[in-house]
Structure 1
Amino acid sequence: MATKVHVGMETEMNGNGRNGVPEMVKNNWKKRLLDFSGKMKRFTGCLWRTIWKAGREDPRRIIHAFKVGLCLTLVSLLYLIEPLFKSFGTSAIWAVMTVVVVLEFTAGATLCKGLNRGLGTVLAGSLAFLINYIATRSESVVRAVFIGAAVFLIGTAATYMRFFPYIKKNYDYGVVIFLLTFNLITVSSYRVENVLKIVHDRFYAISIGCAICLFMSLLVFPIWSGEDLHNSTVGKLEGLAKSIEACVNEYFNDPEIKENQDKSSEDPIYKGYKAVLDSKSIDETLALYASWEPRHSRHCYRFPWQQYVKVGAVLRQFGYTVVALHGCLQTEIQTPRSVRARFKDPCIRLAGEVTKALMELANNIRRRRNCSPEILSDHLHEALQDLDTAIKSQPRLFLGSKKNQTTSNMLALAAAHAARYKQDHGVSLASVKTDSSAFLEWKRKRVGREEAKENERKALRPQLSKIAITSLEFSEALPFAAFASLLVEIVARLDHVIEEVEELGRIACYKEFNPDDDDISVTCKRPPVDVTKNQLPSHAY
């Protein structure tokens, strides 16, 4: 019986060894294939969502991509068509490089880089031809020394000129192209005799590339930097308005409402003022490119693009106050909800009036019309007066009515905490020790007492700070006082924003304000475009 069982088990184990291993390998391969197919499906879905999101945020990106592809196809014909290739030869590569480097997202950026590249090439070619003409009249050694000295002097002077503010702002790319072209032609002219043909071929190739880029940028679905700057200013005003409204509502709402919100979504308060704080370099770049653009519509007549930069600077100063107001929601010491409820109505009304004024400013800039004379309504002043009255009606809250027991309370609580700490961290002493062991025990006790004192001080320090803050007579009112003062500061800074917007309307010749236009409701079906994501890094060749 035992033998039969043993033989059966051995036979079964041998069978599993012959057929089980291939089946296990087969199952592993199936599992790997399923995992790989699942990863490919997820990757394909993620890629498609990214492509769809980029085009949905700003459909002009799709247009720009097609324009770049079409331009590259056109300049590639210089290589693909045999007669054109015989005319230009290998110099046709400069037309391809020009399209890749010059064609930018907006027409102003393309104009700036295209004209800089053309001007730099013309000046460099002319100067290189002059240097070569003078050098050919000399001997070989003198000619090499003359070319080296010319390269050194021109390179030093051109590089130093790049530090001039006006040159750096408007013609830095042209100076780089000038240096590149001048050195290539001048140095190569020492070994190549037909330098005039090199200048001729490269100039025509770059001219063809620039012409195609300008044609595509200005005439085929043009994208204007001025319009981006204009719409960006409108979006910043609306973002600040939404941030203030959301901040005040969250300050007075029940904290349970905030917990029920989706934590994965971006904070709407931060999202509103983030674009304002990061707008300095973008505003200056768009204003520079807009100054290169032609007057493509009636809106561009005498348009002061630098005034938009000033409006952006004022909005950043205004945004810093909104950031501080947002910080009041995240402080360690908070005013109790019962105390906040006493001032809820005037604060919400005040924030609503500020939001209304900012949205009206944004609407006026969008329509290119002057501001209303009554943009700061009487309701704003009434809300300020009501907030002032509400604060004056609570003198005990802000001036204090308790007896001055701060010091005694601090000492009592600190003593109780210290006694509790010693009780929890007490040390038991040995009664009888030998001389050597007593000495070692004495050293250990001394080190232990010092460490205990240090730990006690570290544990007591934050407790004393907390006691010192909470024992103040008006500690409950301090956080709200900061919040209310920042809200009033926002109202004060609103005047500076209105002044800059009115100055913009005066210089830009906005149309006069018409109260009948207020009956027209302006809705935005698509969220405002973030122009910062459309600025691609530039490279020089």
Structure 2
Amino acid sequence: MGVQIVINGENPCETSSKLEKMKKRLNVYVEKMKIFPGLAWKTIWNVGREDPRRVIHSIKVGLSLTLVSLLYLLEPLFEGIGQSSIWAVMTVVVVLEFTAGATLCKGLNRGFGTLLAGLLAFFIEYIATTSGQIFKAIFIGTAVFLIGMSATYVRFFPYIKKNYDYGVVIFLLTFNLITVSSFRVDNVLKIAHERFYTIAIGCGICLLMSLLIFPNWSGEELHNSTVFKLEGLAKSIQACVNGYFTEEEPQTSNEESLEDPIYKGYKAVLDSKSTDETLAMYASWEPRHSRYCYRFPWQQYVKLGAVLRHFGYTVVALHGCLKTEIQTPRSVRALFKDPCTRVAREVSKALMELADSVKKRRQCSPEVLSDHLHQALQDLDTAIRSQPRLFLGPNTNNNTNNMLALAAAQARQKSGKELGVSSLLTTVKTDSSALLEWRSKRVSEQAKENDRKVLRPTLSKIAITSLEFSEALPFAAFASLLVEIVARLDLVIEEVEELGTLAHFKEFDPGDEVKIDVNCEKMKGDQNAKSLENHLPSHGAAE
């Protein structure tokens, strides 16, 4: 045996290994610090390139904070307003949002909440000052309790929660500050005036920056996101069908699937519920800035978004057919390639026409569902009917008998286990020595069960293969989803037509139909997902 030398209770080999690990960690940290400036600059550049409005908004916030800081920095302004000028800075930080609608909502809520709280606080103070000091304290405490309880309960009303929750919070804060301060401070009216003036100045600067200097309208954001979702669904469907009938087997990992343009197309639709509702609520606060001064039905955009999400669920299922474990042979798929491709092309063409009509604010074409789509559906139905043996399987009777035999064997095995358990229980009651034998048998059975669980995925595939299902069965699911997409397309068209009617879109111009056909022909030539990614429009996420 070797002799180990121990110095100060530590082995020199262990000490050297620890030093090596520390050196490796230090080298890793050094490498990260070297590449950190480049990564930081790349992130900053990408955020601004994705949506240049973010840079403009940041500049507007910085300029607004500089303007309100002058109330505190310039001596004449500070003497007129005093310490309350800091409330203007806080107002700009809280109120100035990315879109004009969000700024209007918060600014007006803050202004009206402060005004109502001040008026009510003065009324409470007027009543309290006519009585003694003890009664004044009791009256103020009672008023704070009742107003605080009532205002908090009102916040649970759905309409108040959605539109005026921030204003109620500011009302509570201002009312308590003024009412409680009036018990110790003599000139509380001056404090309230200074705070109201500074909040008004801060809100005024925020509204000026949001409405007049490069405004970002919530309504336009919602409008553009609707167009983006329609285009994304159209491209996802076209790419799904092209990928399903491609001759090469795609090999993608989990990381690559997240960058899949098909996934990107419908992901924006599935994740849009909260964003659409928020943008619609903020858009209802915005002034009518269009040249026709029509009041846009923003809630109709929300309804259209809900229909598009239900439409997107079918696209998700269609995309899942490309990644299932059991696939129809490509030689069988080729029999139905032409009608399926034409159905997908016509659906994509209809969605692109709807997106173009919403984008240009015009009525959609009366023939958005052309006869080509109906003809493609008829051809698909004829192609499926012409191949009945593919969907019934070569040995239908044998498959049925195999399935019945398998079910009978499982039933016999289950009844045998139940009889074995009952006999064991009887033996246990009469003979204590059988208990040990039963326990040992139980342990061995558990070990076998654990091995069986490990092999279960493989055995399940073997069992499925042994049943000799029809080779075209997975394609039947794909075709049914494609027909379901056509059925749900009618609901999307109805909502877009309703939107055009309520929003007073202009009448359809037949000359625009030529441009739509050209765009669809470009999409027809995209045979793989990589080329589709270049056609995706740049879109800034709603803040």
1:123 paired to 2:133 = no
Question: Structure 1 residues 245-254 or 281-290, which shifts more?
Answer: 245-254
**Distance in structure 1 (CA, Å) of the matches to 2:156 and 2:480:** 44
Distance 1:116 1:338, change over 3 A: same
How far 1:278 sits from its partner (Å)? 1.0
Among candidates 300, 307, 311, match of residue 307 of structure 1: 300
Q: Could you say which residue in structure 1 is the equivalent of 2:538?
A: 528
Give the Å deviation of 1:298: 1.8
Cα distance in structure 1, aligned partners of 2:513 and 2:434: 92
Distance 1:397 1:102 in 2: 65
Identity %: 74
RMSD: 3.1
Q: Judge conservation of contact 2:228–2:537 (CA < 8 Å) in 1.
A: no
Other structure's SS at 1:88 match: helix
Q: 1:338 to 1:67 in 2, by over 3 A?
A: same
Tell whether 2:264 aligns with 1:271: yes
Deviations along 1:153-193, whole A, 9 cap, x unmatched?
A: 00011111111122111111100000000001111111101
Letter in 2 for 1:178: F
Q: Give yes or no for the alignment of 1:71 onto 2:64.
A: yes
Verify: 1:476 aligned to 2:486, yes or no: no
2:330 maps to 1:320: no
Q: Deviations over 1:298-340 (max 9, x none)?
A: 2651211111111101101101111111121222222111111
**Structure 2 length as normaliser, TM-score?**
0.82
Change over 3 Å in CA distance of 1:31–1:446 after alignment to 2 = closer
Is residue 380 from structure 1 mapped to residue 390 from structure 2 by the alignment?
no
- TM-fit CA distance, 1:518: 3.6
Q: Report how far residue 452 of structure 1 moved.
A: 6.0
Gap change, CA 1:516 and 1:439, over 3 Å in 2: closer
| Contact 2:155/2:165, CA 8 A, preserved across alignment | yes
Q: Structure 1, residues 185-226: CA drift from partner, whole Å, max 9, x if none?
A: 111111101011011100000000000000010011111001
- 1:4-15 alignment, distance < 5 Å: none
Change (3 A) 1:403 1:129: closer
Residue identity in the other structure for 1:290: A
* Structure 1 CA distance for aligned equivalents of residues 379 and 39 of structure 2: 53
**Alignment partner of 2:256: what SS?**
coil
Per the alignment, residue 94 of structure 2 pairs with: 101
Amino acid at match of 2:503: A
Separation (CA, whole Å) in 2 of partners of 1:507 and 1:176:
35
SS at structure 1 position matched to 2:198: helix
- 1:160 counterpart = 2:153: yes
**Corresponding position: 1:489 with 2:484:** yes
| Alpha-carbon displacement from aligned partner over 1:486-524 (angstroms, at most 9, x marks no partner) | 100000000110011011111111111111234557999
Structure 1 residues 451, 407: closer, same or farther in 2, change over 3 A? farther
- Seen in structure 2, the aligned counterparts of structure 1 residues 519 and 255 have a Cα distance that, compared at 3 Å, is closer
Is this contact kept in 2: 1:129–1:195, CA < 8 A? no
Distance 2:326 2:515 in 1: 46
Deviation at 1:470, TM superposition (A): 3.0
Partners of 2:25 and 2:444 lie apart in 1 by: 62
> Aligned residue for 1:240?
233
How far the C-alpha of 1:40 sits from its partner, in A, is 3.9
Larger Rg over CA atoms: 1
CA distance in 1, matches of 2:116, 2:255: 60
CA contact (8 A) 2:240 2:318 kept: yes
**Could you say if the C-alpha distance between residues 142 and 42 of structure 1 is closer, same or farther in structure 2, counting changes exceeding 3 Å?**
same
State which of 329, 333, 344 in structure 2 corresponds to 1:336.
Answer: 329
After TM superposition, the structure 1 = structure 2 runs for residues 124-203 of structure 1, keeping only pairs within 5 Å, are: 124-203=117-196
Match of 1:513 in 2: 508
Cα distance in 2 for partners of 1:96, 1:393 equals 75
**Given that residues 402 and 467 in structure 2 are in contact (C-alpha distance below 8 angstroms), is that contact kept between their aligned partners in structure 1?**
no
* Alignment counterpart, residue 275 of structure 2, candidates 282, 285, 307: 282
CA contact (8 A) 2:304 2:496 kept: yes
Where has structure 1 moved over 6 Å in runs of 4 or more? 30-37, 438-445, 521-526
Q: Does 1:59 align with 2:52?
A: yes
User: What do the CA deviations read for 1:350-379 (whole angstroms, capped 9, x no partner)?
Assistant: 111101110111011111110111111111
- Counterpart among 75, 84, 87 of residue 82 in structure 1: 75
CA displacement at 1:261 relative to structure 2: 12
Q: Could you tell me whether the CA contact under 8 Å between 1:335 and 1:477 is conserved in 2?
A: yes
Counterpart for residue 356 of structure 1: 349
More displaced stretch, 37-46 vs 276-285: 37-46
Give the Cα–Cα distance (whole angstroms) in 2 for the partners of residues 271 and 469 of structure 1: 33
Task: State how far apart, in whole Å, the 2-side matches of 1:517 and 1:439 are.
Answer: 88
Which residue does 1:9 correspond to in 2?
Answer: none
Q: Distance in 2 between matches of 1:364 and 1:101?
A: 37
Query: For residues 517 and 444 of structure 1, what CA distance do their matches in structure 2 show?
Result: 81
Q: CA contact under 8 A between 2:114 and 2:170: conserved in structure 1?
A: yes
Please, what TM-score do these two structures have when normalized by structure 1?
0.82
